[in-house]
Structure 1
Amino acid sequence: MHAFICLPSPKMPRKPSSCSSAPTPTPLPIVPAMALHLMLAAAAAFAVLAPPAASSGPTPAPPALGINYGQVADNLPPPQAALLLLRALNATRVKLYDADARVLRAFAGSGVDFTVGVPDRLVPRMATDPSAAASWVRSNLLPHLPATSITAVTVGNEVLSGTNAAMLRSLLPAMESLHAALAACNLTSRVSVTTAHSLAVLSSSFPPSSAAFRREVVPYMAPLLGFLARTGAPFLVNAYPYFAYKADPDRVDLGYALFEANSAGVADAATGLRYDNMLHAMVDAARAAICRANYGKALEIRVSETGWPSQGDDDEAGATPENAARYNGNLMRLVAQGKGTPAAPGEPLQVYVFALFNEDQKPGPASERHYGLFKPDGTPAYDVGVKAPTITLPKGNGSSGSGNNGTGGLVVAQGPGGADGVGPGTGYYTVSAAAMNKVKSRRRRCMESLVAAAAVLAMVSGPC
Structure 2
Amino acid sequence: MYTREGKMKAVFAFYLSCLLSFSYALSSNKIGINYGRLGDNLPSPYQSIELLTSMKVGHVKLYDANPEVLKLLSGTNLHVSIMVPNEQISAIASNQTQADQWVDQNVLAYYPTTKIRFVLVGNEVFSTNDLKLWLDLVPAMKNIKTSLTGHNVHNIKVGTPLAMDVLESTFPPSSGKFRSDIPIQVILSLMKFLNGTKSFFFIDAYTYFAWSDNPTNISLDSALLKDGNVTYVDTESGLNYTNLLDQMLDSVHFAMGKLGFDNVRIAISETGWPHAGDIDQTGANAYNAETYIRNLVRKVTSYPPIGTPAKPGIEIPTFIFSLYDENQKPGAGTERHWGLLNNNGRPIYEVDLTGTSPVNNDTHLTESINNNKPYKGKIWCVVASDASLAELEPALDFACRQGNGTCDELAPGKGCYEPVSVVDHASYAFSSYWAKFRSDGASCYFNGLAVQTITDPSKSWIMPIPKCVDLKMVLWILLLES
Q: CA deviation at 1:266?
A: 1.0
- The answer to whether the Cα contact below 8 Å between 1:44 and 1:64 also exists between their aligned partners in 2 is no
Residue 323 (structure 2) pairs with residue 359 (structure 1): no
Cα offset for 1:334?
1.1
User: Do 2:274 and 2:289's aligned partners in 1 also have CA atoms closer than 8 Å?
Assistant: yes
Mapped partners of 1:45, 1:97: distance in 2: 29
Pick one of 270, 274, 282 that aligns with 1:305.
Answer: 270
Does structure 2 retain, via aligned residues, the 8 Å contact 1:245–1:317?
no
Q: Does 2:351 align with 1:372?
A: no
* Cα distance change, pair 130–366 in 1 and its aligned pair in 2 (3 A): same
Aligned mate of 2:130, from 139, 142, 164: 164
Change (3 A) 1:129 1:74: same
Determine if contact 1:43/1:64 at 8 Å carries over to the other structure.
no
Q: How many residues end up aligned between the 2 structures?
A: 332
Please give the alpha-carbon distance, in whole angstroms, between the structure 1 residues aligned to 2:33 and 2:85: 19
Contact 1:283 1:341 in 2 (8 A): yes
Q: Which residue of 2 aligns with 1:148?
A: 114
CA deviation after TM superposition for structure 1 residue 297, in Å: 4.0
Offset of residue 42 of structure 1: 6.0
Q: Which has the higher contact order (CA 8 A, sep 6+)?
A: 1
User: Residue 241 of structure 2 aligns with which residue?
Assistant: 275
| 1:44–1:305 CA distance, 2 compared to 1 (3 A) | farther
The separation in 1 between residues aligned to 2:85 and 2:232, in whole angstroms, is 38
Alpha-carbon distance in 1 for matches of 2:280, 2:341: 24
- Offset at residue 262 of structure 1 (A): 4.3
Does the CA contact (< 8 Å) of 1:44 and 1:92 recur in 2?
A: no
Does 2:94 match 1:128? yes
Task: Tell me which amino acid in the other structure corresponds to 1:101.
Answer: P
Q: Say which SS state the counterpart of residue 141 (structure 1) adopts.
A: helix
What TM-score, normalized by structure 2, do the two folds share?
0.66
Partner of residue 350, structure 2: 383
Distance in 2 between residues matched to 1:179 and 1:258, nearest whole Å = 37
| Aligned residue number for residue 480 of structure 2 | none
The Cα shift of 1:374 comes to 0.4
- Tell me, yes or no, if structure 1 residue 320 matches structure 2 residue 285: yes
Q: Is this contact kept in 2: 1:305–1:354, CA < 8 A?
A: yes
Cα drift, residue 95 of structure 1: 0.8
CA deviation profile, 1:327-367 (whole Å, cap 9, x unmatched): 01111111221321111111111111000111111110010
Q: 1:67 corresponds to which residue?
A: 33
Point out where structure 2 has 5 or more consecutive residues left out of the alignment: 1-19, 355-482
In 1, distance between residues paired with 2:125 and 2:139? 13
Residue identity in the other structure for 2:40:
D
Structure 2 match to 1:105: 71
Q: 1:151 to 1:385 in 2, by over 3 A?
A: closer
Q: Check 1:332–1:241 CA distance in 2 against 1; reply closer, same or farther (3 A cut).
A: same
Cα shift at 1:85 = 2.3
2:56–2:353 CA contact under 8 A, matched in 1 = no
Q: For each residue in 1:115-163, what CA deviation from the matched residue of structure 2 results, as whole angstroms up to 9, or x when unmatched?
A: 1100001001111111111001110111111111001111001112221
Identity rate of aligned residues, in percent? 36
Q: Separation in 2 of the partners of 1:99 and 1:243?
A: 28
Q: C-alpha displacement at 1:239, in angstroms?
A: 0.4
Structure 1 stretch displaced more, 123-132 or 87-96: 87-96
Residues 48-94 of structure 1: CA distance to partner in whole angstroms, max 9, x if unpaired? xxxxxxxxxxxxx9861111111111121122322232233321111
Task: Give the TM-score normalised by the residue count of structure 1.
Answer: 0.69
> Is the CA contact 1:341–1:349 (under 8 Å) kept in the aligned structure 2?
no
Q: Which residue of 2 aligns with 1:83?
A: 49
Deviation per CA, 1:385-441, whole angstroms, max 9, x where unpaired?
Answer: 579xxxxxxxxxxxxxxxxxxxxxxxxxxxxxxxxxxxxxxxxxxxxxxxxxxxxxx
RMSD: 1.9
